[in-house]
Protein backbone atom coordinates (compact mmCIF):
# COMPACT_ATOMS: atom_id res chain seq x y z
CA UNK A 1 0.00 0.00 0.00
CA UNK A 2 2.88 2.43 0.76
CA UNK A 3 3.89 2.03 -2.90
CA UNK A 4 0.72 3.94 -3.81
CA UNK A 5 1.77 6.97 -1.75
CA UNK A 6 1.23 10.29 -3.53
CA UNK A 7 1.69 13.39 -1.37
CA UNK A 8 2.58 17.06 -1.72
CA UNK A 9 6.22 17.96 -1.04
CA UNK A 10 5.49 19.78 2.21
CA UNK A 11 6.46 18.88 5.77
CA UNK A 12 7.13 20.23 9.24
CA UNK A 13 10.83 20.09 10.13
CA UNK A 14 12.32 19.73 13.60
CA UNK A 15 15.66 19.21 15.29
CA UNK A 16 15.75 15.86 17.10
CA UNK A 17 16.20 16.54 20.80
CA UNK A 18 16.03 12.96 22.05
CA UNK A 19 17.02 10.05 19.83
CA UNK A 20 14.11 8.10 18.44
CA UNK A 21 13.89 4.34 18.91
CA UNK A 22 11.72 1.60 17.47
CA UNK A 23 9.80 1.50 20.76
CA UNK A 24 9.22 5.29 20.79
CA UNK A 25 7.75 5.16 17.29
CA UNK A 26 5.63 2.08 18.07
CA UNK A 27 4.29 3.83 21.20
CA UNK A 28 3.48 6.88 19.04
CA UNK A 29 1.49 4.74 16.63
CA UNK A 30 -0.42 3.09 19.48
CA UNK A 31 -1.28 6.51 20.96
CA UNK A 32 -2.50 7.82 17.59
CA UNK A 33 -4.81 4.84 17.08
CA UNK A 34 -6.11 5.02 20.65
CA UNK A 35 -6.88 8.73 20.36
CA UNK A 36 -9.25 7.94 17.49
CA UNK A 37 -10.77 4.83 19.06
CA UNK A 38 -9.41 2.56 16.34
CA UNK A 39 -9.19 -1.19 16.88
CA UNK A 40 -9.31 -2.36 13.25
CA UNK A 41 -6.23 -3.18 11.21
CA UNK A 42 -3.95 -0.54 9.67
CA UNK A 43 -3.92 0.23 5.98
CA UNK A 44 -0.14 0.16 6.38
CA UNK A 45 2.47 0.53 9.14
CA UNK A 46 6.25 0.77 8.82
CA UNK A 47 8.64 1.39 11.70
CA UNK A 48 12.02 3.06 11.16
CA UNK A 49 12.92 1.39 7.89
CA UNK A 50 16.03 2.54 6.02
CA UNK A 51 16.16 3.98 2.53
CA UNK A 52 18.80 6.10 0.80
CA UNK A 53 20.62 7.07 4.00
CA UNK A 54 17.49 8.02 5.98
CA UNK A 55 15.04 6.26 8.28
CA UNK A 56 11.32 6.49 7.70
CA UNK A 57 8.21 5.43 9.58
CA UNK A 58 4.62 5.53 8.37
CA UNK A 59 1.17 4.80 9.73
CA UNK A 60 -2.16 4.88 7.91
CA UNK A 61 -5.52 3.78 9.32
CA UNK A 62 -9.22 4.46 8.92
CA UNK A 63 -11.36 6.02 11.66
CA UNK A 64 -14.84 7.43 12.02
CA UNK A 65 -15.79 10.98 13.01
CA UNK A 66 -18.94 13.12 13.14
CA UNK A 67 -19.16 15.39 10.08
CA UNK A 68 -17.88 18.85 10.90
CA UNK A 69 -21.20 20.40 9.87
CA UNK A 70 -23.32 18.33 12.32
CA UNK A 71 -23.58 18.33 16.12
CA UNK A 72 -21.25 15.96 17.96
CA UNK A 73 -24.28 14.12 19.33
CA UNK A 74 -25.31 13.00 15.85
CA UNK A 75 -25.21 9.31 15.06
CA UNK A 76 -23.93 10.07 11.58
CA UNK A 77 -20.30 9.14 11.07
CA UNK A 78 -18.01 9.61 8.12
CA UNK A 79 -15.08 7.33 7.41
CA UNK A 80 -11.73 9.11 7.19
CA UNK A 81 -8.24 7.92 6.43
CA UNK A 82 -5.32 9.40 8.39
CA UNK A 83 -1.60 9.38 7.60
CA UNK A 84 1.61 10.17 9.47
CA UNK A 85 5.00 9.87 7.76
CA UNK A 86 8.09 10.50 9.89
CA UNK A 87 11.54 10.87 8.29
CA UNK A 88 14.79 10.95 10.31
CA UNK A 89 17.96 12.34 8.73
CA UNK A 90 21.11 14.10 9.98
CA UNK A 91 19.75 14.97 13.44
CA UNK A 92 16.49 16.34 12.03
CA UNK A 93 12.99 15.03 11.48
CA UNK A 94 10.44 15.77 8.78
CA UNK A 95 6.78 15.06 9.57
CA UNK A 96 4.07 14.79 6.92
CA UNK A 97 0.53 14.22 8.12
CA UNK A 98 -3.03 14.18 6.90
CA UNK A 99 -5.95 14.19 9.38
CA UNK A 100 -3.60 13.07 12.16
CA UNK A 101 -1.46 15.18 14.50
CA UNK A 102 1.51 14.20 16.62
CA UNK A 103 0.70 14.30 20.34
CA UNK A 104 2.16 17.34 22.09
CA UNK A 105 3.94 15.09 24.60
CA UNK A 106 5.76 13.25 21.81
CA UNK A 107 6.91 16.48 20.16
CA UNK A 108 8.04 17.96 23.49
CA UNK A 109 10.04 14.85 24.36
CA UNK A 110 11.73 14.20 21.05
CA UNK A 111 11.75 17.40 18.99
CA UNK A 112 12.95 21.01 19.17
CA UNK A 113 11.96 23.79 16.76
CA UNK A 114 14.38 24.60 13.97
CA UNK A 115 15.86 28.06 14.59
CA UNK A 116 14.20 30.80 12.55
CA UNK A 117 17.61 31.95 11.31
CA UNK A 118 18.26 28.49 9.83
CA UNK A 119 14.89 28.45 8.07
CA UNK A 120 15.76 31.85 6.62
CA UNK A 121 19.15 30.57 5.49
CA UNK A 122 17.57 27.55 3.81
CA UNK A 123 14.65 29.28 2.10
CA UNK A 124 15.15 33.08 2.06
CA UNK A 125 18.41 32.84 0.15
CA UNK A 126 20.30 35.87 -1.07
CA UNK A 127 18.85 35.53 -4.59
CA UNK A 128 15.30 34.67 -3.50
CA UNK A 129 12.43 36.67 -5.01
CA UNK A 130 9.67 37.12 -2.43
CA UNK A 131 6.16 36.91 -3.87
CA UNK A 132 3.88 36.45 -0.86
CA UNK A 133 4.28 37.14 2.84
CA UNK A 134 2.13 37.04 5.97
CA UNK A 135 3.49 39.17 8.80
CA UNK A 136 2.74 39.54 12.52
CA UNK A 137 2.84 42.98 14.08
CA UNK A 138 5.20 43.14 17.06
CA UNK A 139 2.72 45.26 19.01
CA UNK A 140 0.61 43.66 21.76
CA UNK A 141 -2.06 46.34 21.63
CA UNK A 142 -5.53 44.95 20.81
CA UNK A 143 -6.13 48.10 18.73
CA UNK A 144 -3.18 47.61 16.39
CA UNK A 145 -3.31 45.83 13.05
CA UNK A 146 -2.09 42.43 14.17
CA UNK A 147 -1.25 40.75 10.90
CA UNK A 148 -1.28 41.38 7.19
CA UNK A 149 -0.61 39.51 3.97
CA UNK A 150 1.06 41.10 0.95
CA UNK A 151 1.52 39.62 -2.51
CA UNK A 152 3.28 40.81 -5.66
CA UNK A 153 5.51 39.58 -8.44
CA UNK A 154 8.46 40.90 -6.44
CA UNK A 155 7.67 42.24 -2.96
CA UNK A 156 11.03 44.00 -2.71
CA UNK A 157 9.72 46.50 -5.28
CA UNK A 158 6.49 47.34 -3.42
CA UNK A 159 7.17 46.90 0.33
CA UNK A 160 9.38 49.64 1.72
CA UNK A 161 11.48 49.46 4.90
CA UNK A 162 9.37 52.15 6.60
CA UNK A 163 6.49 49.72 6.94
CA UNK A 164 8.41 46.50 7.54
CA UNK A 165 10.50 46.95 10.67
CA UNK A 166 7.58 46.62 13.05
CA UNK A 167 6.61 43.26 11.56
CA UNK A 168 7.99 39.77 12.00
CA UNK A 169 7.56 37.46 8.98
CA UNK A 170 5.25 34.54 9.74
CA UNK A 171 4.91 32.80 6.37
CA UNK A 172 6.50 33.62 3.03
CA UNK A 173 6.69 32.25 -0.48
CA UNK A 174 9.81 32.71 -2.62
CA UNK A 175 11.12 31.83 -6.07
CA UNK A 176 14.71 30.55 -6.30
CA UNK A 177 16.07 29.20 -9.58
CA UNK A 178 12.54 28.78 -10.92
CA UNK A 179 11.30 26.79 -7.89
CA UNK A 180 8.63 28.15 -5.56
CA UNK A 181 9.08 27.39 -1.86
CA UNK A 182 6.85 28.34 1.06
CA UNK A 183 8.05 28.51 4.67
CA UNK A 184 6.51 29.15 8.07
CA UNK A 185 9.58 29.65 10.28
CA UNK A 186 7.71 29.53 13.61
CA UNK A 187 6.47 25.98 12.94
CA UNK A 188 9.24 24.71 10.69
CA UNK A 189 6.72 24.12 7.91
CA UNK A 190 8.41 24.09 4.48
CA UNK A 191 6.91 23.13 1.14
CA UNK A 192 8.10 23.10 -2.46
CA UNK A 193 5.66 23.46 -5.34
CA UNK A 194 6.06 20.38 -7.48
CA UNK A 195 4.23 17.34 -8.71
CA UNK A 196 3.02 15.01 -5.97
CA UNK A 197 5.72 12.61 -4.82
CA UNK A 198 5.98 8.93 -3.96
CA UNK A 199 8.01 7.65 -1.00
CA UNK A 200 11.47 7.95 -2.65
CA UNK A 201 10.52 11.41 -3.93
CA UNK A 202 9.39 12.66 -0.53
CA UNK A 203 12.59 11.31 1.05
CA UNK A 204 14.65 13.22 -1.53
CA UNK A 205 12.67 16.40 -0.75
CA UNK A 206 13.10 16.03 3.02
CA UNK A 207 16.82 15.32 2.79
CA UNK A 208 17.37 18.32 0.52
CA UNK A 209 15.60 20.68 2.93
CA UNK A 210 17.49 19.25 5.94
CA UNK A 211 20.81 19.68 4.13
CA UNK A 212 19.91 23.35 3.54
CA UNK A 213 18.87 23.80 7.19
CA UNK A 214 22.26 22.48 8.30
CA UNK A 215 24.30 25.17 6.51
CA UNK A 216 25.99 27.54 8.99
CA UNK A 217 25.92 31.32 8.41
CA UNK A 218 24.04 31.07 5.12
CA UNK A 219 23.57 34.28 3.13
CA UNK A 220 20.00 35.54 3.31
CA UNK A 221 18.02 37.97 1.21
CA UNK A 222 18.47 41.72 1.87
CA UNK A 223 14.67 41.97 1.70
CA UNK A 224 14.10 39.66 4.68
CA UNK A 225 16.73 41.65 6.60
CA UNK A 226 14.52 44.74 6.38
CA UNK A 227 12.07 43.09 8.78
CA UNK A 228 12.44 42.46 12.49
CA UNK A 229 15.41 40.13 12.92
CA UNK A 230 15.40 36.85 14.88
CA UNK A 231 17.75 36.59 17.88
CA UNK A 232 18.18 33.77 20.37
CA UNK A 233 16.23 33.87 23.63
CA UNK A 234 19.49 33.44 25.54
CA UNK A 235 20.90 36.55 23.87
CA UNK A 236 17.74 38.51 24.61
CA UNK A 237 17.63 37.50 28.28
CA UNK A 238 21.28 38.42 28.73
CA UNK A 239 20.63 41.96 27.56
CA UNK A 240 17.03 42.63 28.64
CA UNK A 241 14.23 41.76 31.07
CA UNK A 242 10.69 40.65 30.07
CA UNK A 243 8.21 43.22 31.36
CA UNK A 244 4.89 42.76 29.49
CA UNK A 245 2.95 39.81 28.07
CA UNK A 246 -0.26 39.16 26.19
CA UNK A 247 -1.83 36.35 24.17
CA UNK A 248 -1.98 36.29 20.38
CA UNK A 249 -5.74 35.71 20.27
CA UNK A 250 -5.66 35.63 16.46
CA UNK A 251 -4.05 32.19 16.70
CA UNK A 252 -6.77 30.97 19.05
CA UNK A 253 -9.72 32.45 17.16
CA UNK A 254 -8.40 31.07 13.86
CA UNK A 255 -8.13 27.59 15.37
CA UNK A 256 -11.63 27.71 16.91
CA UNK A 257 -13.16 28.78 13.61
CA UNK A 258 -11.21 26.30 11.47
CA UNK A 259 -12.47 22.77 10.95
CA UNK A 260 -8.97 21.62 10.00
CA UNK A 261 -7.60 22.71 13.42
CA UNK A 262 -10.07 20.31 15.00
CA UNK A 263 -10.62 21.93 18.41
CA UNK A 264 -13.46 23.32 20.50
CA UNK A 265 -13.38 25.38 23.71
CA UNK A 266 -15.44 24.04 26.60
CA UNK A 267 -16.10 24.60 30.29
CA UNK A 268 -17.12 21.93 32.75
CA UNK A 269 -20.43 21.91 34.60
CA UNK A 270 -20.15 18.99 36.96
CA UNK A 271 -19.56 15.97 34.78
CA UNK A 272 -20.90 17.71 31.69
CA UNK A 273 -18.83 19.58 29.10
CA UNK A 274 -20.43 22.71 27.60
CA UNK A 275 -19.03 24.35 24.48
CA UNK A 276 -18.44 28.09 24.93
CA UNK A 277 -21.20 30.14 23.30
CA UNK A 278 -20.30 33.22 21.25
CA UNK A 279 -20.77 35.66 24.16
CA UNK A 280 -18.42 33.71 26.45
CA UNK A 281 -15.92 33.26 23.64
CA UNK A 282 -15.86 37.02 23.07
CA UNK A 283 -15.37 37.69 26.80
CA UNK A 284 -12.50 35.20 26.84
CA UNK A 285 -10.79 36.87 23.86
CA UNK A 286 -11.14 40.30 25.48
CA UNK A 287 -9.54 38.97 28.67
CA UNK A 288 -6.62 37.36 26.84
CA UNK A 289 -6.08 40.53 24.78
CA UNK A 290 -5.21 42.64 27.82
CA UNK A 291 -1.47 43.27 28.38
CA UNK A 292 -0.10 42.09 31.75
CA UNK A 293 2.96 43.33 33.64
CA UNK A 294 5.63 40.68 34.27
CA UNK A 295 7.31 40.90 37.69
CA UNK A 296 10.13 39.11 39.51
CA UNK A 297 13.66 37.95 38.81
CA UNK A 298 13.33 34.16 39.08
CA UNK A 299 12.96 31.71 36.23
CA UNK A 300 9.20 31.57 36.87
CA UNK A 301 7.68 35.07 36.97
CA UNK A 302 4.25 36.42 37.79
CA UNK A 303 2.13 38.40 35.31
CA UNK A 304 -0.31 40.84 36.90
CA UNK A 305 -3.20 43.05 35.83
CA UNK A 306 -1.77 46.62 35.59
CA UNK A 307 -4.87 48.24 37.12
CA UNK A 308 -5.47 45.92 40.08
CA UNK A 309 -2.19 44.11 40.66
CA UNK A 310 -4.04 40.75 40.61
CA UNK A 311 -2.00 37.80 39.42
CA UNK A 312 -3.47 36.70 36.09
CA UNK A 313 -0.77 34.39 34.73
CA UNK A 314 2.83 33.24 35.10
CA UNK A 315 5.62 32.54 32.63
CA UNK A 316 8.75 30.42 32.76
CA UNK A 317 11.98 31.63 31.14
CA UNK A 318 13.36 28.37 29.80
CA UNK A 319 16.52 27.77 27.80
CA UNK A 320 14.98 27.97 24.34
CA UNK A 321 11.50 29.37 24.89
CA UNK A 322 9.24 31.31 27.22
CA UNK A 323 6.52 29.01 28.51
CA UNK A 324 3.08 29.99 29.71
CA UNK A 325 2.95 28.35 33.14
CA UNK A 326 -0.48 29.38 34.40
CA UNK A 327 -3.66 31.31 33.71
CA UNK A 328 -4.95 32.25 37.14
CA UNK A 329 -8.16 34.19 36.56
CA UNK A 330 -11.52 33.06 35.16
CA UNK A 331 -12.84 32.70 32.56
CA UNK A 332 -9.47 31.69 31.04
CA UNK A 333 -8.54 29.49 34.01
CA UNK A 334 -11.76 27.49 33.64
CA UNK A 335 -11.60 26.80 29.89
CA UNK A 336 -10.50 23.52 28.30
CA UNK A 337 -9.66 22.48 24.75
CA UNK A 338 -11.24 19.34 23.26
CA UNK A 339 -10.65 17.78 19.89
CA UNK A 340 -13.71 18.26 17.74
CA UNK A 341 -13.31 14.71 16.40
CA UNK A 342 -14.56 13.51 19.80
CA UNK A 343 -17.96 14.09 21.37
CA UNK A 344 -17.95 17.04 23.77
CA UNK A 345 -16.57 15.88 27.11
CA UNK A 346 -15.28 12.54 25.82
CA UNK A 347 -11.76 13.59 24.81
CA UNK A 348 -9.30 11.57 26.92
CA UNK A 349 -6.41 13.87 25.94
CA UNK A 350 -8.22 17.10 26.80
CA UNK A 351 -5.96 20.09 27.45
CA UNK A 352 -6.40 23.13 29.60
CA UNK A 353 -6.52 26.38 27.65
CA UNK A 354 -3.16 27.26 29.18
CA UNK A 355 -1.60 24.05 27.84
CA UNK A 356 -3.01 24.64 24.37
CA UNK A 357 -1.89 28.28 24.17
CA UNK A 358 1.58 27.23 25.29
CA UNK A 359 1.69 24.44 22.71
CA UNK A 360 0.83 26.74 19.78
CA UNK A 361 3.26 29.46 20.96
CA UNK A 362 0.52 32.07 21.36
CA UNK A 363 2.47 34.00 23.99
CA UNK A 364 3.72 37.52 23.16
CA UNK A 365 6.32 39.12 25.44
CA UNK A 366 7.93 42.57 25.34
CA UNK A 367 11.18 43.50 27.07
CA UNK A 368 12.62 46.57 28.74
CA UNK A 369 14.77 46.84 25.59
CA UNK A 370 12.09 48.30 23.35
CA UNK A 371 13.67 46.74 20.26
CA UNK A 372 12.80 43.19 21.36
CA UNK A 373 9.58 41.17 21.13
CA UNK A 374 8.93 37.45 21.66
CA UNK A 375 6.42 36.23 19.06
CA UNK A 376 5.63 32.72 17.75
CA UNK A 377 8.21 31.18 20.08
CA UNK A 378 11.02 33.39 18.77
CA UNK A 379 12.61 36.68 19.84
CA UNK A 380 12.76 39.39 17.16
CA UNK A 381 14.65 42.68 17.25
CA UNK A 382 13.62 45.93 15.57
CA UNK A 383 16.87 47.56 14.47
CA UNK A 384 15.36 50.99 13.82
CA UNK A 385 16.25 52.08 17.35
CA UNK A 386 19.93 52.03 16.45
CA UNK A 387 19.52 55.73 15.61
CA UNK A 388 18.61 56.58 19.21
CA UNK A 389 14.90 56.95 18.44
CA UNK A 390 15.41 59.69 15.85
CA UNK A 391 13.28 57.88 13.25
CA UNK A 392 10.48 57.51 15.82
CA UNK A 393 10.60 61.17 16.88
CA UNK A 394 10.20 62.34 13.27
CA UNK A 395 6.52 61.50 13.59
CA UNK A 396 6.05 63.93 16.51
CA UNK A 397 5.24 67.61 16.18
CA UNK A 398 5.20 69.95 19.21
CA UNK A 399 2.53 72.62 19.61
CA UNK A 400 2.59 75.12 22.48
CA UNK A 401 -1.16 75.61 21.95
CA UNK A 402 -1.71 72.36 23.87
CA UNK A 403 -0.01 73.63 27.06
CA UNK A 404 -3.07 75.51 28.42
CA UNK A 405 -5.55 72.79 27.40
CA UNK A 406 -7.70 71.54 30.30
CA UNK A 407 -10.27 69.35 28.53
CA UNK A 408 -10.94 67.58 25.25
CA UNK A 409 -14.06 69.47 24.10
CA UNK A 410 -14.66 72.17 26.72
CA UNK A 411 -17.97 73.39 28.15
CA UNK A 412 -21.06 74.13 26.07
CA UNK A 413 -23.92 76.65 26.18
CA UNK A 414 -26.96 77.17 23.97
CA UNK A 415 -25.70 80.28 22.20
CA UNK A 416 -22.06 79.20 21.91
CA UNK A 417 -20.49 79.75 18.49
CA UNK A 418 -16.94 78.42 18.98
CA UNK A 419 -15.11 75.73 20.94
CA UNK A 420 -13.38 76.76 24.19
CA UNK A 421 -9.83 78.01 23.60
CA UNK A 422 -8.61 75.80 26.49
CA UNK A 423 -9.93 72.59 24.92
CA UNK A 424 -8.16 70.23 22.50
CA UNK A 425 -10.91 71.05 20.00
CA UNK A 426 -10.19 74.75 20.36
CA UNK A 427 -6.44 74.18 19.89
CA UNK A 428 -7.09 72.32 16.65
CA UNK A 429 -9.43 74.97 15.24
CA UNK A 430 -7.36 78.02 16.24
CA UNK A 431 -3.80 76.71 15.89
CA UNK A 432 -3.03 73.17 14.77
CA UNK A 433 -5.39 73.16 11.75
CA UNK A 434 -5.40 76.92 11.22
CA UNK A 435 -3.76 76.59 7.78
CA UNK A 436 -6.56 74.38 6.44
CA UNK A 437 -8.92 76.53 4.28
CA UNK A 438 -11.57 73.82 4.72
CA UNK A 439 -12.10 72.52 8.26
CA UNK A 440 -15.06 70.33 9.19
CA UNK A 441 -16.14 69.07 12.63
CA UNK A 442 -17.12 65.40 12.33
CA UNK A 443 -17.29 64.54 16.05
CA UNK A 444 -20.04 62.23 17.38
CA UNK A 445 -22.16 59.66 15.59
CA UNK A 446 -20.57 57.78 12.69
CA UNK A 447 -17.47 59.90 12.88
CA UNK A 448 -14.44 59.58 10.64
CA UNK A 449 -12.41 61.95 12.81
CA UNK A 450 -13.01 64.78 15.25
CA UNK A 451 -12.02 67.27 12.54
CA UNK A 452 -11.29 66.95 8.82
CA UNK A 453 -9.06 69.51 7.15
CA UNK A 454 -8.57 69.98 3.39
CA UNK A 455 -5.97 72.16 1.70
CA UNK A 456 -5.75 72.64 -2.07
CA UNK A 457 -3.08 75.24 -2.73
CA UNK A 458 -0.71 75.67 -5.68
CA UNK A 459 -1.30 72.13 -6.88
CA UNK A 460 -0.77 70.58 -3.42
CA UNK A 461 -3.79 68.74 -2.03
CA UNK A 462 -3.66 67.68 1.59
CA UNK A 463 -6.34 65.82 3.58
CA UNK A 464 -5.94 65.72 7.37
CA UNK A 465 -7.98 63.67 9.83
CA UNK A 466 -7.53 65.08 13.34
CA UNK A 467 -8.23 62.87 16.38
CA UNK A 468 -8.22 64.84 19.63
CA UNK A 469 -7.56 63.60 23.17
CA UNK A 470 -6.81 65.24 26.48
CA UNK A 471 -5.22 63.86 29.62
CA UNK A 472 -2.56 64.31 32.24
CA UNK A 473 1.02 64.16 31.00
CA UNK A 474 2.17 60.55 30.72
CA UNK A 475 4.59 58.30 28.87
CA UNK A 476 2.13 55.41 28.96
CA UNK A 477 0.12 53.74 26.22
CA UNK A 478 -3.29 53.91 27.93
CA UNK A 479 -4.23 57.44 26.74
CA UNK A 480 -3.52 56.44 23.13
CA UNK A 481 -5.43 53.20 22.75
CA UNK A 482 -8.75 54.77 21.75
CA UNK A 483 -7.11 57.40 19.53
CA UNK A 484 -5.00 54.84 17.67
CA UNK A 485 -8.02 52.58 17.24
CA UNK A 486 -10.16 55.41 15.87
CA UNK A 487 -7.45 56.70 13.57
CA UNK A 488 -6.55 53.27 12.23
CA UNK A 489 -10.08 52.10 11.50
CA UNK A 490 -10.83 55.33 9.59
CA UNK A 491 -7.79 55.31 7.30
CA UNK A 492 -10.00 54.02 4.49
CA UNK A 493 -12.34 57.00 4.87
CA UNK A 494 -9.56 59.43 3.99
CA UNK A 495 -10.55 58.89 0.35
CA UNK A 496 -14.05 60.34 1.04
CA UNK A 497 -16.04 57.26 -0.12
CA UNK A 498 -18.68 58.43 -2.57
CA UNK A 499 -21.39 56.22 -1.11
CA UNK A 500 -21.05 57.84 2.32
CA UNK A 501 -20.23 61.40 1.32
CA UNK A 502 -23.82 62.58 0.75
CA UNK A 503 -24.86 61.82 4.33
CA UNK A 504 -21.71 63.50 5.63
CA UNK A 505 -22.39 66.67 3.65
CA UNK A 506 -25.77 66.91 5.35
CA UNK A 507 -24.15 66.59 8.78
CA UNK A 508 -21.46 69.17 8.03
CA UNK A 509 -24.16 71.63 7.02
CA UNK A 510 -25.64 71.57 10.54
CA UNK A 511 -24.57 72.93 13.92
CA UNK A 512 -22.68 70.97 16.57
CA UNK A 513 -24.90 69.42 19.23
CA UNK A 514 -22.90 68.30 22.22
CA UNK A 515 -24.34 65.60 24.48
CA UNK A 516 -27.36 67.14 26.29
CA UNK A 517 -26.65 70.60 24.84
CA UNK A 518 -27.38 72.15 21.46
CA UNK A 519 -24.98 74.90 20.33
CA UNK A 520 -24.61 77.40 17.51
CA UNK A 521 -21.14 76.12 16.57
CA UNK A 522 -21.19 75.44 12.81
CA UNK A 523 -19.78 72.05 11.84
CA UNK A 524 -18.28 73.64 8.75
CA UNK A 525 -15.72 75.64 10.72
CA UNK A 526 -14.15 77.12 7.58
CA UNK A 527 -14.61 76.71 3.86
CA UNK A 528 -13.15 78.63 0.94
CA UNK A 529 -15.10 76.48 -1.54
CA UNK A 530 -18.15 77.76 -3.36
CA UNK A 531 -19.36 74.15 -3.46
CA UNK A 532 -18.05 71.94 -0.64
CA UNK A 533 -19.14 68.71 -2.32
CA UNK A 534 -17.21 69.57 -5.50
CA UNK A 535 -14.11 70.52 -3.50
CA UNK A 536 -14.13 67.25 -1.53
CA UNK A 537 -14.66 65.12 -4.61
CA UNK A 538 -11.79 66.93 -6.33
CA UNK A 539 -9.57 66.26 -3.30
CA UNK A 540 -10.58 62.61 -3.33
CA UNK A 541 -9.66 62.07 -6.97
CA UNK A 542 -6.36 63.98 -6.91
CA UNK A 543 -3.79 61.24 -7.61
CA UNK A 544 -0.95 62.78 -5.58
CA UNK A 545 -3.00 63.98 -2.59
CA UNK A 546 -1.17 63.86 0.73
CA UNK A 547 -3.18 62.21 3.50
CA UNK A 548 -2.38 62.70 7.19
CA UNK A 549 -3.82 60.86 10.20
CA UNK A 550 -3.10 63.24 13.08
CA UNK A 551 -3.45 62.34 16.75
CA UNK A 552 -3.64 65.56 18.76
CA UNK A 553 -3.01 64.99 22.46
CA UNK A 554 -2.23 67.09 25.50
CA UNK A 555 -1.19 63.97 27.44
CA UNK A 556 2.26 63.67 25.88
CA UNK A 557 5.37 65.84 25.67
CA UNK A 558 7.73 65.46 22.74
CA UNK A 559 10.67 66.38 24.94
CA UNK A 560 9.67 63.68 27.43
CA UNK A 561 9.75 61.10 24.62
CA UNK A 562 13.16 62.37 23.48
CA UNK A 563 14.44 62.22 27.07
CA UNK A 564 13.23 58.63 27.36
CA UNK A 565 15.31 57.64 24.34
CA UNK A 566 18.33 59.51 25.70
CA UNK A 567 17.97 57.53 28.93
CA UNK A 568 17.71 54.28 26.96
CA UNK A 569 20.89 55.10 25.06
CA UNK A 570 22.58 55.79 28.40
CA UNK A 571 21.73 52.29 29.56
CA UNK A 572 18.61 52.97 31.64
CA UNK A 573 15.64 50.63 31.40
CA UNK A 574 12.35 52.16 30.20
CA UNK A 575 9.09 51.71 32.08
CA UNK A 576 6.77 48.95 30.79
CA UNK A 577 4.20 51.60 29.91
CA UNK A 578 6.70 53.37 27.62
CA UNK A 579 7.51 50.09 25.86
CA UNK A 580 3.80 49.59 25.19
CA UNK A 581 3.50 53.21 23.99
CA UNK A 582 6.40 52.71 21.60
CA UNK A 583 4.96 49.57 20.01
CA UNK A 584 1.42 50.96 19.88
CA UNK A 585 2.50 54.10 18.02
CA UNK A 586 4.93 52.23 15.80
CA UNK A 587 2.06 50.02 14.67
CA UNK A 588 -0.04 53.14 14.01
CA UNK A 589 2.68 54.79 11.92
CA UNK A 590 3.19 51.55 10.01
CA UNK A 591 -0.56 51.14 9.34
CA UNK A 592 -0.65 54.64 7.90
CA UNK A 593 2.32 53.92 5.65
CA UNK A 594 0.60 50.83 4.28
CA UNK A 595 -2.35 52.84 2.92
CA UNK A 596 -0.22 55.70 1.58
CA UNK A 597 -0.91 58.05 4.51
CA UNK A 598 1.33 59.79 7.03
CA UNK A 599 0.86 59.17 10.72
CA UNK A 600 1.52 62.21 12.93
CA UNK A 601 1.32 62.91 16.66
CA UNK A 602 0.88 66.55 17.67
CA UNK A 603 1.62 66.96 21.36
CA UNK A 604 3.02 69.38 23.91
CA UNK A 605 6.60 70.64 23.40
183 vs 343, which has greater pLDDT?
183
CA dihedral 458, 463, 464, 465 (to 10 degrees): 170
pLDDT of residue 206: 97
> Could you read off the pLDDT of 11-70 as tens digits, one per residue?
999 999 999 999 999 999 999 999 888 887 899 999 999 999 999 999 999 999 888 888
pLDDT at 383: 64
Write down the pLDDT at residue 161.
62
Q: Given this model, what pLDDT does residue 424 score?
A: 94
Percent share of the chain, pLDDT over 70: 94
pLDDT at 117 over 80: yes
Query: How, if at all, do strands 10-16 and 44-51 pair?
Result: unpaired
Q: Which residues are within 8 A (CB) of 331 and not within 5 positions of it... i.e. 6 or more apart?
A: 267, 280, 283, 284, 287
Please give the residue that has the higher pLDDT: either 208 or 70.
208
| CA-to-CA dists, residue 506 to 182, 418, 453, 454, 503, angstroms | 51, 20, 17, 18, 5
pLDDT at 18: 92
pLDDT(574) > 80: no
Domain boundaries, the chain: 2-113, 116-197+215-228, 234-382, 391-604
pLDDT band at 502 (very low <50, low <70, confident <90, very high): confident
pLDDT-based confidence at residue 133 (cuts at 50, 70, 90): very high
Tens digit of each residue's pLDDT (9 = 90 or more) over 523-552? 999 998 888 888 888 888 888 889 999 999
The answer on pLDDT for 166 being more than 80 is: no
Gyration radius of the chain over CA positions: 28
User: Residue 359 forms beta bridges with which residues?
Assistant: none
Q: Are 541 and 587 a contacting pair, CB within 8 Å?
A: no
Query: What is the predicted pLDDT for the residue at 251?
Result: 74
Amino acid sequence: MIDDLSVATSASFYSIRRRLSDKAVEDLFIALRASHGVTAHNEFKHTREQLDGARWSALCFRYESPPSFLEDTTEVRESLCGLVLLIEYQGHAAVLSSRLSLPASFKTTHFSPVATARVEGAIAKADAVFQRMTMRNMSISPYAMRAKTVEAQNLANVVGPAGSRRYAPRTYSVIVSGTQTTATPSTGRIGIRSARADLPGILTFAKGVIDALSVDNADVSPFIKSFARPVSLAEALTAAVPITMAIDTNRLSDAVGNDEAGIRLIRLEGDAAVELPATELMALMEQLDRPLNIEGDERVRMAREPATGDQAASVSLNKNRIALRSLALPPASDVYVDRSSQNAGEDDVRQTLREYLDEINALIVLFDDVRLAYIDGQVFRDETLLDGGESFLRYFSASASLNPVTSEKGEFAAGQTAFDATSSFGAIVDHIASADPILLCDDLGDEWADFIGVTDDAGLTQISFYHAKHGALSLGASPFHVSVSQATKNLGNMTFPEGRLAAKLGLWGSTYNAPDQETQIPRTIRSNATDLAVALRRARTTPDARRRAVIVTSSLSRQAVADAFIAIQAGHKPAPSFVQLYWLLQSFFSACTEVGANGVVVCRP
